[in-house]
Amino acid sequence: MKSPLQYVRPNILALAPYSTARDEYKGGDITTWLDANESPYDNGVNRYPDPHQKALKALLSEIKGMPVSQIFVGNGSDEAIDLVFRIFCTPGQDNAVAIAPSYGMYAVSAATNDIALKEVCLNADFSLPVEALLKACDAHTKVMWVCSPNNPTGNAFDVAVLEDLADRFDGILVVDEAYADFSERGSLLSVLDRHPNLIVLQTLSKAWGMAGLRLGLAFAHTDIATLFARVKYPYNVNGPTQLTVMQHLRAGIREQVEEIKRERERLAHVLPTLKVVEAVYPTDANFFLIRTADADAVYDHLIARGIIARNRTRMPLCQGCLRITIGTPQENDLLLKALADFPQP
pLDDT digits (tens, 9 = 90+) for 13-53: 999 888 887 787 777 788 898 999 999 999 999 999 999 99
Q: What is the mean pLDDT of residues 219-236?
A: 96
The predicted pLDDT at position 104 comes to 96
pLDDT for res 168: 97
Average pLDDT over residues 273-288: 98
- Asked whether residue 242 is domain-assigned, the answer is yes
Instruction: Clarify whether residues 288 and 185 are in a common domain.
Output: no
Domain boundary among 199, 228, 251: 251
**Does one domain contain both 161 and 308?**
no
Across 210-224, average pLDDT: 97
The predicted-structure confidence for 313-333, as pLDDT tens digits, reads as follows 999 999 999 999 999 999 999
pLDDT above 70 coverage of the chain, percent? 100
Cα–Cα dist 33/280, whole Å = 59
Is 345 within the bounds of a domain? Answer: no
Last residue of a domain, one of 191, 225, 251: 251
pTM, to two decimals: 0.95
| Predicted local confidence at residue 345, as pLDDT | 77
Do residue 199 and residue 322 come from a single domain?
A: no
Task: Judge if 239 and 261 occupy the same domain.
Answer: no
φ, ψ of residue 169 to 5 degrees: the values are: -85, 125
* Residue 301 within any structural domain of the chain: yes
Q: What is the CATH number of the domain that holds 49?
A: 3.40.640.10
Note whether 170 and 213 are same-domain residues. yes
Question: What b/e readout covers 120-158, taking b as 16+ CB neighbours within 10 angstroms?
Answer: bebeeebebebeebbebbeeebbbbbbbbbbbbbbbbbe
Please report which confidence band the pLDDT of residue 1 belongs to, taking 50, 70 and 90 as the band edges: low
Distance (Å, rounded) from C-alpha 174 to C-alpha 181?
18
Domain boundary among the residues 188, 220, 251 is at: 251
Q: Give the pLDDT band of residue 2 (cuts 50, 70, 90).
A: confident
| DSSP single-letter state for residue 108 | H
Which amino acid belongs to residue 145? W
pLDDT at 23: 81
The Cβ of residue 203 has, within 10 Å, a number of other Cβ atoms equal to 24
Q: Is residue 66 part of a domain?
A: yes
129 plus 148 within the same structural domain: yes
Is 87 part of any domain?
A: yes
What is the arithmetic mean of pLDDT over 229-248?
Answer: 96
> What's the average model confidence in pLDDT over 102-114?
98
Portion of the chain with pLDDT greater than 90, in percent: 93
Q: Are residues 259 and 245 in the same domain?
A: no
Q: What is the DSSP string of 39-95?
A: -SS-SSSSSPP-TT-HHHHHHHHHHHT--GGGEEEEEHHHHHHHHHHHHH--TTT-E
Determine, yes or no, domain membership for 101. Answer: yes
Answer yes or no: do 232 and 309 share one domain: no
Asked if residue 270 and residue 207 are part of one domain, the reply reads no
In this predicted model, what pLDDT tens digit does every residue of 159-202 receive, in sequence order?
999 999 999 999 999 999 999 999 999 899 999 999 999 999 99
Note whether 247 and 263 are same-domain residues: no
Query: What is the residue range of 335's domain?
Result: 254-340
| Least confident window among 32-36, 217-221, 293-297 | 32-36
Instruction: Establish if 332 belongs to a structural domain.
Output: yes
Average pLDDT over residues 247-267: 97
Q: Are residues 21 and 90 in the same domain?
A: yes
Is a pLDDT exceeding 80 seen at residue 249? yes
Instruction: Note whether residue 324 is domain-resident.
Output: yes
- pLDDT tens-digit profile of 117-162? 999 999 999 999 999 999 999 999 999 999 999 999 999 999 999 9
Domain harbouring 273, CATH code: 3.90.1150.10
Query: How many independent structural domains does the chain possess?
Result: 2
Say if residue 186 is in the same domain as residue 299.
no
For position 288, what pLDDT does the model report?
Answer: 98
Q: Give the number of other Cβ atoms within 10 Å of residue 75's Cβ.
A: 18
Mean pLDDT computed over every residue of the chain: 96
